[in-house]
């Protein structure tokens, strides 16, 4: 198992390096730069500013300086747009927010989605099944940029129960709507995945054997059917978890949560190179890490993979 983990780690580092170099060069291809503005800066002023940030150097040298800064001082550079903040500041402020509502959404999606899926599979073709399938399809076709404003309309304007946005240090009433809006479609996917794989497992030979032995239905489900049927779900959970905790541009911009999702997308529009790079590295390493966790979990659940 240990050698398996080490093997996976050995692949992760070069992957991250490729990601870093590729993004750094791709970013420079976009027309305009961080200091392109409505009123073009006089060439002299632009020169001053570019010199201050080292943007007058050749791209390869900028890359070397940038990586050097990260390796030696863990410094991801300054924001060119928000001049009194560094990328480290932005991540330190925004990532905990995203991590909080992302993790809650993730747990919410697994618990509700999993329960719905299992219930639907066990009671296939009953009203419970139709109900579960109905709401999961509904949840999946309703995009969160439509759902989020509707939630605000209902809970803030009509009912007046919840604040329409903001984060307020993660106070519970500010977290509810972002979690609902973010988790719904994931929940639906998990429910449908769980349902179909559970149905498949319930029809397999070893379950028939278990039934033939006269085991109680509960034991069959929990002891024998559950583990194999969550395998496809687990492979979905890795990317889903990263997708949720790395934030959502839509959630951040509609609920003004201050998470990194909005900073990330806006950094691209602003050509805020260092912010874009810093967040790419953060999200990239998270993706790599959680894919690795999924692989390990997989190996643990299904010994065949370890071979």
Partner 1 sequence: MNISLKSVLFASALAFASPALAAGTAPNGMPLADDQTFTYRVLDEHSSVDPQIVEDVSGSEIVRDLFEGLYNQDADGNLVPGVALSHTVSDDKLTYTFTLRDNAVWSDGKPVTAGDFEYAWKRLADPETASPYQWFISVMGLKNGEAVMGGEAPVDDLGVKAIDDNTLEVTLASPLSYFPLTTTHASTFPSPKWVIDEFGADWTKPENIVSNGAYVLTEHVPQERSVRERNPMYWDNDGTIIEKVTALVINDENVALTRYLAGELDRTEVPAGQYPSLKAEYPDQALSFPRLCNYYFNFNLSDSGPEATKDVRVRKALSYAVNRDIIVDNVLQGGQFPAYTFTPAATANFEVPTVDYATWTQEERDAKAKELMAEAGYGPDNPLSLTYLYNTSEGHKKIAIAVSQMWKQTLGVEVTLENQEWKTFLETRGNHDFEVARGAWCGDYNEASTFLDLVQTSSGYNDAAYSNAEVDQLLAEAKSMDDPQPNYTRVEEILAEDMPVIPIYHYAGVYMMSPSISGSWPVQNVEQNWYSKDLYKVVTE
Of 69 and 228, the one with the shorter C-beta distance to partner 1 is 69
Nearest alpha carbon to residue 53 among 87, 16, 17: 87
39 binds partner 1 (CB under 8 A): yes
Beta bridge partners of 187: none
Q: Minimum distance between the CB of residue 104 and partner 1, rounded to whole angstroms?
A: 18
Using CA atoms in the order 143, 144, 145, 150, what is the torsion angle rounded to 10 degrees?
100
Tokens 């979990």: give the residue: 297
166 binds partner 1 (CB under 8 A): yes
When binding is defined by CB under 8 A, the residue of 253, 291, 296, 301 that contacts partner 1 is 253
How many residues in the shown chain lie near partner 1 by CB under 8 A? 55
Nearest-10 crossing angle of helices 172-202, 226-245 = 150
Where does this chain touch partner 1 (CB under 8 A) — which range of 88-96, 129-137, 188-196, 240-248? 88-96
Tokens 């803030």: give the residue: 156
User: Would you state the structure tokens that stand for residue 48, as one six-digit string?
Assistant: 């001053």
DSSP string, 66-114: HHHHHHHH----B-SSSTT-BHHHHHHHHHHHHHHHHHHHHHHHHHHHH
When binding is defined by CB under 8 A, the residue of 5, 9, 37, 300 that contacts partner 1 is 37
Of 187 and 250, the one with the shorter C-beta distance to partner 1 is 250
DSSP 258: -
When binding is defined by CB under 8 A, the residue of 21, 36, 239, 300 that contacts partner 1 is 36
Please give the residues from 44 up to 63 whose contact with partner 1 meets the rule CB under 8 A.
Answer: 44-45, 48-49, 51-53
172 binds partner 1 (CB under 8 A): no
219 binds partner 1 (CB under 8 A): no
180 binds partner 1 (CB under 8 A): no
When binding is defined by CB under 8 A, the residue of 8, 35, 57, 63 that contacts partner 1 is 35
Please give the residues from 263 up to 302 whose contact with partner 1 meets the rule CB under 8 A.
Answer: 263, 266, 269-271
Where does this chain touch partner 1 (CB under 8 A) — which range of 13-21, 26-34, 112-120, 124-132? 26-34
Nearest alpha carbon to residue 165 among 147, 152, 181: 152
Beta bridge partners of 86: 78
Q: In whole angstroms, how far apart are CA 223 and each of 41, 126, 281?
A: 69, 24, 41
When binding is defined by CB under 8 A, the residue of 258, 264, 288, 294 that contacts partner 1 is 258
Tokens 């769980």: give the residue: 194
**Dist. CA 180–CA 151, nearest whole Å:** 9
Residues making contact with partner 1 (CB under 8 A): 30-33, 35-42, 44-45, 48-49, 51-53, 78, 81-85, 89-90, 93-94, 148-149, 152-153, 156-158, 160, 163-167, 252-254, 256-259, 262-263, 266, 269-271
């Amino acid at each position: 198992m240990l050698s398996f983990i080490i093997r996976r780690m050995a692949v992760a580092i070069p992957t991250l390096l490729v990601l870093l170099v590729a993004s750094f060069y791709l970013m420079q291809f976009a027309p305009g730069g961080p200091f392109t503005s409505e009123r073009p800066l006089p060439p002299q002023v632009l020169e001053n500013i570019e010199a201050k940030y080292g943007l007058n150097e050749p791209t390869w040298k900028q890359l070397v300086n940038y990586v050097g800064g990260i390796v030696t001082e863990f410094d991801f550079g300054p924001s060119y747009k928000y001049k009194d903040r560094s990328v480290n500041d932005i991540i330190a402020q925004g990532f905990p927010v995203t991590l909080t509502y992302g993790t809650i959404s993730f747990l919410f999606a697994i618990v509700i989605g999993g329960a719905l899926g299992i219930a639907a599979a066990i009671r296939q073709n009953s009203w419970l099944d139709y109900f579960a399938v109905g709401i999961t399809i509904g949840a999946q076709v309703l995009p969160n940029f439509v759902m989020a404003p509707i939630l605000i309309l209902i809970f803030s304007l009509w009912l007046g129960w919840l604040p329409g946005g903001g984060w307020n240090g993660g106070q519970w009433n500010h977290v509810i709507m972002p979690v609902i809006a973010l988790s719904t479609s994931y929940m639906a996917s998990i429910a449908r995945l769980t349902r179909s794989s559970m149905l498949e497992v319930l029809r397999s030979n070893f379950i028939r054997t278990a039934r033939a032995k006269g085991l109680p239905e509960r034991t069959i489900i929990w002891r024998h059917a559950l583990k194999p049927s969550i395998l496809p779900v687990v492979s979905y959970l890795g990317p889903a978890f990263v997708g949720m905790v790395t934030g959502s541009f839509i959630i951040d911009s509609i609920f003004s949560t201050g998470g990194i999702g909005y900073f990330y997308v806006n950094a691209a529009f602003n050509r805020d190179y260092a912010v874009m790079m810093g967040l790419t590295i953060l999200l990239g390493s998270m993706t790599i890490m959680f894919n690795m966790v999924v692989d390990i979990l997989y190996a643990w659940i299904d010994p065949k993979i370890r071979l």
